[in-house]
Chains A and B, each alone.
Chain A
Amino acid sequence: MGKVPFEEIVATHGPTVWRVCRAVLGAPDADDAWSETFLSALSAYPALPADANVEAWLVTIAHRKAIDVVRAAGRRAVPVPEPPERGHTPIDGVDVGSDLLTALAELPDKQKQAIAYHYLADLPYAEVAAILGGSADAARRAAADGIAALRRTYPKEER
Protein backbone atom coordinates (compact mmCIF):
# COMPACT_ATOMS: atom_id res chain seq x y z
CA MET A 1 0.00 0.00 0.00
CA GLY A 2 1.28 3.42 -0.95
CA LYS A 3 0.53 6.79 0.60
CA VAL A 4 -2.82 7.46 2.20
CA PRO A 5 -5.12 9.88 0.35
CA PHE A 6 -4.14 13.45 1.20
CA GLU A 7 -7.64 14.04 2.59
CA GLU A 8 -6.64 11.76 5.45
CA ILE A 9 -3.52 13.85 6.12
CA VAL A 10 -5.67 16.97 6.38
CA ALA A 11 -8.16 15.25 8.69
CA THR A 12 -5.46 13.81 10.95
CA HIS A 13 -3.05 16.74 11.15
CA GLY A 14 -5.18 19.77 10.22
CA PRO A 15 -6.14 20.73 13.78
CA THR A 16 -2.60 20.36 15.16
CA VAL A 17 -1.06 22.37 12.35
CA TRP A 18 -3.61 25.12 12.92
CA ARG A 19 -2.76 25.20 16.65
CA VAL A 20 0.91 25.51 15.75
CA CYS A 21 0.18 28.34 13.31
CA ARG A 22 -2.07 30.05 15.84
CA ALA A 23 0.56 29.78 18.56
CA VAL A 24 3.23 31.48 16.49
CA LEU A 25 0.94 33.95 14.66
CA GLY A 26 -2.26 35.96 15.20
CA ALA A 27 -5.60 34.45 14.20
CA PRO A 28 -6.10 35.73 10.63
CA ASP A 29 -2.44 35.09 9.83
CA ALA A 30 -2.77 31.57 11.23
CA ASP A 31 -5.43 30.81 8.61
CA ASP A 32 -3.14 32.07 5.84
CA ALA A 33 -0.20 30.04 7.12
CA TRP A 34 -2.35 26.90 7.49
CA SER A 35 -3.67 27.23 3.95
CA GLU A 36 -0.24 27.84 2.46
CA THR A 37 1.17 24.92 4.44
CA PHE A 38 -1.36 22.38 3.22
CA LEU A 39 -1.32 23.67 -0.34
CA SER A 40 2.45 23.35 -0.43
CA ALA A 41 2.31 19.94 1.26
CA LEU A 42 -0.30 18.69 -1.23
CA SER A 43 1.90 19.75 -4.08
CA ALA A 44 4.98 17.97 -2.67
CA TYR A 45 3.11 14.96 -1.24
CA PRO A 46 3.76 12.46 -4.07
CA ALA A 47 7.53 12.91 -3.60
CA LEU A 48 7.46 12.54 0.20
CA PRO A 49 9.39 9.42 1.26
CA ALA A 50 7.01 6.69 2.45
CA ASP A 51 8.65 6.47 5.89
CA ALA A 52 8.69 10.24 6.53
CA ASN A 53 7.31 11.64 9.78
CA VAL A 54 4.31 13.46 8.33
CA GLU A 55 3.70 15.70 11.33
CA ALA A 56 7.32 16.88 11.48
CA TRP A 57 7.22 17.48 7.73
CA LEU A 58 4.04 19.57 8.03
CA VAL A 59 5.34 21.56 10.99
CA THR A 60 8.57 22.28 9.10
CA ILE A 61 6.52 23.66 6.19
CA ALA A 62 4.29 25.59 8.60
CA HIS A 63 7.37 27.15 10.21
CA ARG A 64 8.52 28.50 6.84
CA LYS A 65 5.05 29.61 5.80
CA ALA A 66 4.57 31.45 9.10
CA ILE A 67 7.78 33.37 8.44
CA ASP A 68 6.53 34.20 4.91
CA VAL A 69 3.20 35.42 6.26
CA VAL A 70 4.92 37.66 8.81
CA ARG A 71 7.23 39.06 6.11
CA ALA A 72 4.33 39.72 3.75
CA ALA A 73 2.43 41.42 6.56
CA GLY A 74 5.52 43.51 7.31
CA ARG A 75 5.67 44.70 3.73
CA ARG A 76 2.00 45.63 3.80
CA ALA A 77 1.98 47.22 7.23
CA VAL A 78 2.13 50.94 7.83
CA PRO A 79 4.75 51.51 10.56
CA VAL A 80 3.16 52.25 13.91
CA PRO A 81 4.92 53.45 17.07
CA GLU A 82 3.41 50.80 19.37
CA PRO A 83 3.29 47.11 18.55
CA PRO A 84 -0.26 46.40 17.37
CA GLU A 85 -2.54 44.82 19.90
CA ARG A 86 -2.59 41.07 19.37
CA GLY A 87 -5.53 38.81 19.12
CA HIS A 88 -8.40 41.26 19.35
CA THR A 89 -10.37 40.04 16.35
CA PRO A 90 -12.86 37.36 17.30
CA ILE A 91 -12.94 35.01 14.35
CA ASP A 92 -14.60 31.69 13.80
CA GLY A 93 -15.60 31.21 17.38
CA VAL A 94 -12.05 31.01 18.67
CA ASP A 95 -11.50 33.05 21.78
CA VAL A 96 -8.48 34.90 20.51
CA GLY A 97 -8.68 37.43 23.29
CA SER A 98 -7.64 34.77 25.75
CA ASP A 99 -5.02 35.82 28.27
CA LEU A 100 -2.90 32.80 27.57
CA LEU A 101 -2.65 33.44 23.84
CA THR A 102 -1.88 37.08 24.53
CA ALA A 103 0.90 36.06 26.91
CA LEU A 104 2.21 33.61 24.33
CA ALA A 105 2.16 36.24 21.60
CA GLU A 106 4.44 38.41 23.70
CA LEU A 107 7.19 35.80 24.00
CA PRO A 108 10.27 35.97 21.76
CA ASP A 109 9.77 34.05 18.48
CA LYS A 110 12.17 31.21 19.36
CA GLN A 111 10.33 30.48 22.60
CA LYS A 112 6.93 30.62 20.93
CA GLN A 113 8.11 28.29 18.19
CA ALA A 114 9.78 25.86 20.56
CA ILE A 115 6.62 25.65 22.67
CA ALA A 116 4.41 25.22 19.60
CA TYR A 117 6.52 22.53 17.95
CA HIS A 118 7.34 20.57 21.08
CA TYR A 119 4.24 20.92 23.22
CA LEU A 120 1.47 21.42 20.65
CA ALA A 121 2.85 19.27 17.81
CA ASP A 122 4.57 16.76 20.13
CA LEU A 123 7.85 16.80 18.23
CA PRO A 124 10.97 15.69 20.10
CA TYR A 125 13.53 18.45 20.75
CA ALA A 126 15.86 17.01 18.10
CA GLU A 127 13.14 17.62 15.49
CA VAL A 128 12.38 21.06 16.91
CA ALA A 129 16.09 21.91 16.67
CA ALA A 130 16.19 20.72 13.06
CA ILE A 131 13.43 23.20 12.27
CA LEU A 132 14.74 26.12 14.34
CA GLY A 133 18.43 25.59 13.79
CA GLY A 134 20.75 25.20 16.80
CA SER A 135 20.98 22.29 19.17
CA ALA A 136 18.31 20.17 20.82
CA ASP A 137 19.44 21.58 24.16
CA ALA A 138 18.92 25.12 22.92
CA ALA A 139 15.43 24.18 21.75
CA ARG A 140 14.69 22.61 25.12
CA ARG A 141 15.90 25.74 26.92
CA ALA A 142 13.83 28.02 24.68
CA ALA A 143 10.71 25.97 25.40
CA ALA A 144 11.45 25.88 29.14
CA ASP A 145 12.11 29.62 29.27
CA GLY A 146 8.90 30.26 27.37
CA ILE A 147 6.84 28.05 29.67
CA ALA A 148 8.39 29.72 32.72
CA ALA A 149 7.52 33.15 31.32
CA LEU A 150 3.96 32.05 30.59
CA ARG A 151 3.64 30.81 34.16
CA ARG A 152 4.76 34.19 35.44
CA THR A 153 2.54 36.29 33.19
CA TYR A 154 -0.49 34.07 32.94
CA PRO A 155 -2.41 34.91 36.07
CA LYS A 156 -4.90 32.03 36.36
CA GLU A 157 -2.99 30.44 39.22
CA GLU A 158 -5.46 28.81 41.58
CA ARG A 159 -7.38 25.81 40.41
Chain B
Amino acid sequence: MSTKNLVTELTNTASPDADHLRALHARLTTAAERDGVLDVAYRTIDSPVGTLLIAGTNEGLVRIAYESENHDTVLQTLADRISPRVLKAADRMDLAARELDEYFAGRRRSFDLPLDWRLATGFRRTVLGTLTTDVGYGHTASYAAVAALAGNPKAFRAAATACATNPLPVVVPCHRVVRSDGSLGGYLGGVAAKQALLALEAA
Protein backbone atom coordinates (compact mmCIF):
# COMPACT_ATOMS: atom_id res chain seq x y z
CA MET B 1 0.00 0.00 0.00
CA SER B 2 1.36 3.43 -0.94
CA THR B 3 1.87 6.16 1.64
CA LYS B 4 -0.92 8.12 0.00
CA ASN B 5 -3.39 5.25 0.30
CA LEU B 6 -2.28 4.57 3.85
CA VAL B 7 -2.87 8.20 4.79
CA THR B 8 -6.26 8.25 3.04
CA GLU B 9 -7.26 5.10 4.90
CA LEU B 10 -6.07 6.58 8.18
CA THR B 11 -7.97 9.83 7.56
CA ASN B 12 -11.16 7.95 6.79
CA THR B 13 -10.86 5.55 9.71
CA ALA B 14 -10.18 8.31 12.21
CA SER B 15 -12.97 10.61 11.05
CA PRO B 16 -15.68 11.78 13.40
CA ASP B 17 -19.21 11.51 11.98
CA ALA B 18 -21.79 14.32 12.12
CA ASP B 19 -23.40 13.12 15.38
CA HIS B 20 -20.04 12.83 17.03
CA LEU B 21 -19.11 16.37 15.98
CA ARG B 22 -22.44 17.66 17.30
CA ALA B 23 -21.80 15.99 20.66
CA LEU B 24 -18.28 17.49 20.80
CA HIS B 25 -19.68 20.91 19.93
CA ALA B 26 -22.33 20.66 22.66
CA ARG B 27 -19.66 19.72 25.16
CA LEU B 28 -17.58 22.71 24.08
CA THR B 29 -20.41 25.23 24.45
CA THR B 30 -21.25 23.88 27.92
CA ALA B 31 -17.63 24.15 29.04
CA ALA B 32 -17.24 27.60 27.44
CA GLU B 33 -20.33 28.82 29.23
CA ARG B 34 -19.06 27.38 32.53
CA ASP B 35 -15.67 29.08 32.10
CA GLY B 36 -17.20 32.39 31.03
CA VAL B 37 -15.48 32.45 27.62
CA LEU B 38 -18.59 32.32 25.47
CA ASP B 39 -19.03 36.02 24.67
CA VAL B 40 -21.66 35.76 21.93
CA ALA B 41 -24.10 32.85 21.65
CA TYR B 42 -26.48 32.49 18.74
CA ARG B 43 -29.05 30.28 17.09
CA THR B 44 -31.66 30.62 14.37
CA ILE B 45 -35.42 30.30 14.68
CA ASP B 46 -38.14 29.80 12.09
CA SER B 47 -40.79 32.50 12.03
CA PRO B 48 -43.61 33.74 9.79
CA VAL B 49 -41.18 36.44 8.58
CA GLY B 50 -38.46 33.97 7.68
CA THR B 51 -35.50 32.49 9.51
CA LEU B 52 -34.27 34.86 12.19
CA LEU B 53 -30.79 34.88 13.66
CA ILE B 54 -30.84 35.66 17.38
CA ALA B 55 -27.65 36.39 19.31
CA GLY B 56 -26.99 37.19 22.95
CA THR B 57 -24.22 38.18 25.34
CA ASN B 58 -23.98 37.74 29.10
CA GLU B 59 -26.07 40.87 29.41
CA GLY B 60 -28.94 39.82 27.21
CA LEU B 61 -30.29 39.64 23.69
CA VAL B 62 -27.97 41.74 21.51
CA ARG B 63 -29.03 41.09 17.92
CA ILE B 64 -31.94 39.82 15.87
CA ALA B 65 -31.35 39.62 12.14
CA TYR B 66 -33.53 38.94 9.14
CA GLU B 67 -32.26 36.64 6.41
CA SER B 68 -32.08 39.65 4.09
CA GLU B 69 -29.32 41.06 6.30
CA ASN B 70 -27.21 37.93 5.54
CA HIS B 71 -26.60 35.95 8.73
CA ASP B 72 -22.92 35.29 7.97
CA THR B 73 -22.31 39.00 7.58
CA VAL B 74 -24.16 39.71 10.82
CA LEU B 75 -22.10 37.12 12.72
CA GLN B 76 -18.89 38.63 11.35
CA THR B 77 -20.04 42.05 12.53
CA LEU B 78 -20.75 40.66 15.99
CA ALA B 79 -17.26 39.13 16.03
CA ASP B 80 -15.76 42.48 15.02
CA ARG B 81 -17.78 44.71 17.32
CA ILE B 82 -18.26 42.56 20.43
CA SER B 83 -15.90 39.57 20.49
CA PRO B 84 -14.76 36.82 18.12
CA ARG B 85 -15.67 34.28 20.82
CA VAL B 86 -18.88 33.45 18.99
CA LEU B 87 -20.49 30.01 19.20
CA LYS B 88 -23.76 28.51 18.12
CA ALA B 89 -25.41 27.68 21.44
CA ALA B 90 -29.11 26.97 21.18
CA ASP B 91 -29.58 26.38 24.92
CA ARG B 92 -28.44 29.82 25.93
CA MET B 93 -30.85 31.42 23.48
CA ASP B 94 -33.83 29.37 24.68
CA LEU B 95 -35.60 32.18 26.53
CA ALA B 96 -35.44 34.57 23.58
CA ALA B 97 -36.53 31.83 21.18
CA ARG B 98 -39.50 30.96 23.40
CA GLU B 99 -40.66 34.56 23.76
CA LEU B 100 -40.39 35.16 20.02
CA ASP B 101 -42.33 31.97 19.32
CA GLU B 102 -45.07 33.14 21.68
CA TYR B 103 -45.13 36.54 20.02
CA PHE B 104 -45.47 35.07 16.53
CA ALA B 105 -48.22 32.76 17.77
CA GLY B 106 -50.13 35.81 19.02
CA ARG B 107 -49.75 34.78 22.67
CA ARG B 108 -47.33 37.50 23.73
CA ARG B 109 -47.74 41.29 23.55
CA SER B 110 -44.51 42.43 25.13
CA PHE B 111 -41.06 40.99 25.76
CA ASP B 112 -39.53 40.77 29.17
CA LEU B 113 -36.15 39.28 28.40
CA PRO B 114 -32.97 41.24 29.19
CA LEU B 115 -31.64 43.29 26.28
CA ASP B 116 -28.05 44.25 25.56
CA TRP B 117 -28.22 47.66 23.87
CA ARG B 118 -24.53 48.02 23.03
CA LEU B 119 -25.06 47.98 19.25
CA ALA B 120 -27.25 51.10 19.39
CA THR B 121 -25.70 54.31 20.66
CA GLY B 122 -26.52 57.98 21.17
CA PHE B 123 -29.75 59.36 19.80
CA ARG B 124 -30.48 56.10 17.97
CA ARG B 125 -30.39 54.29 21.27
CA THR B 126 -32.76 56.88 22.77
CA VAL B 127 -35.18 56.51 19.87
CA LEU B 128 -35.23 52.72 20.12
CA GLY B 129 -35.66 52.84 23.91
CA THR B 130 -38.57 55.26 23.58
CA LEU B 131 -40.13 53.08 20.93
CA THR B 132 -39.94 50.06 23.19
CA THR B 133 -41.59 51.73 26.15
CA ASP B 134 -44.03 54.13 24.49
CA VAL B 135 -45.36 52.52 21.32
CA GLY B 136 -47.29 49.48 22.45
CA TYR B 137 -48.51 46.33 20.76
CA GLY B 138 -51.03 47.01 18.02
CA HIS B 139 -50.27 50.74 17.87
CA THR B 140 -48.30 52.74 15.33
CA ALA B 141 -46.51 56.08 15.47
CA SER B 142 -45.01 58.35 12.82
CA TYR B 143 -41.27 58.94 12.54
CA ALA B 144 -41.87 62.54 13.65
CA ALA B 145 -43.89 61.41 16.68
CA VAL B 146 -41.14 59.00 17.69
CA ALA B 147 -38.52 61.74 17.27
CA ALA B 148 -40.62 63.98 19.51
CA LEU B 149 -40.99 61.23 22.11
CA ALA B 150 -37.21 60.85 22.04
CA GLY B 151 -36.88 64.57 22.83
CA ASN B 152 -36.08 66.06 19.42
CA PRO B 153 -39.15 66.62 17.25
CA LYS B 154 -37.08 67.86 14.31
CA ALA B 155 -34.97 64.73 14.16
CA PHE B 156 -37.41 62.57 12.24
CA ARG B 157 -34.71 61.60 9.74
CA ALA B 158 -32.48 60.44 12.56
CA ALA B 159 -35.45 58.53 13.95
CA ALA B 160 -35.87 56.82 10.59
CA THR B 161 -32.16 55.93 10.58
CA ALA B 162 -32.47 54.53 14.09
CA CYS B 163 -35.23 52.25 12.85
CA ALA B 164 -33.33 51.25 9.73
CA THR B 165 -30.33 50.22 11.84
CA ASN B 166 -32.29 48.67 14.74
CA PRO B 167 -30.14 45.79 16.06
CA LEU B 168 -33.16 44.18 17.72
CA PRO B 169 -36.07 44.24 15.26
CA VAL B 170 -39.39 42.68 16.35
CA VAL B 171 -38.46 42.96 20.05
CA VAL B 172 -37.72 46.67 19.63
CA PRO B 173 -40.81 47.43 17.55
CA CYS B 174 -39.58 49.64 14.72
CA HIS B 175 -42.21 47.90 12.56
CA ARG B 176 -44.74 50.11 14.42
CA VAL B 177 -43.22 53.28 13.02
CA VAL B 178 -44.94 54.45 9.83
CA ARG B 179 -45.04 57.57 7.66
CA SER B 180 -47.09 60.58 8.75
CA ASP B 181 -49.35 60.12 5.69
CA GLY B 182 -50.26 56.68 6.95
CA SER B 183 -48.21 54.74 4.39
CA LEU B 184 -45.98 52.00 5.71
CA GLY B 185 -42.54 53.41 5.02
CA GLY B 186 -39.53 51.14 4.73
CA TYR B 187 -38.41 48.30 6.96
CA LEU B 188 -35.06 46.64 7.45
CA GLY B 189 -36.69 43.21 7.08
CA GLY B 190 -38.62 44.24 3.96
CA VAL B 191 -42.04 45.83 3.68
CA ALA B 192 -43.77 42.43 3.54
CA ALA B 193 -42.37 41.57 6.98
CA LYS B 194 -43.51 44.93 8.35
CA GLN B 195 -47.00 44.30 6.97
CA ALA B 196 -47.07 40.80 8.45
CA LEU B 197 -46.08 42.02 11.92
CA LEU B 198 -48.64 44.83 11.89
CA ALA B 199 -51.32 42.39 10.71
CA LEU B 200 -50.36 39.97 13.47
CA GLU B 201 -50.69 42.70 16.07
CA ALA B 202 -54.00 43.92 14.63
CA ALA B 203 -55.57 40.46 14.87
Contact = CB atoms under 8 A, between A and B. Distances in A.
A6 B16 contact: no
A115 B5 CA distance: 14
Interface residues of A, number: 41
B10 A92 contact: no
B139 interface: no
A123 interface: no
Contact of A5 (B5, B25, B84): B84
Closest 7 CB pairs of A and B: A5-B86, A3-B84, A92-B20, A22-B14, A5-B79, A2-B80, A19-B14
A95 B11 contact: no
A70 interface: no
A92 B26 CA distance: 14
Nearest to A19: B14
Given A34-B24, A93-B19, A119 B7 contact: yes
Q: Chain B's interface: helix, strand, loop or mixed, by majority?
A: helix
A94 B80 contact: no
B31 interface: yes
A42 B11 contact: no
A126 to B, nearest CB: 19
B14 A120 contact: yes
Contacts of A35: 24, 27-28, 31
B87 A151 contact: no
Interface residues of B, number: 39
Contacts of A22: 14, 16
A7 interface: yes
Given A5-B75, A151-B1, A157-B1, A38 B13 contact: no
B179 interface: no
Interface in B89-108: none
B10 A45 contact: no
A132 interface: no
A92 B79 contact: no
A75 interface: no
Contact of B35 (A15, A43, A156): A43
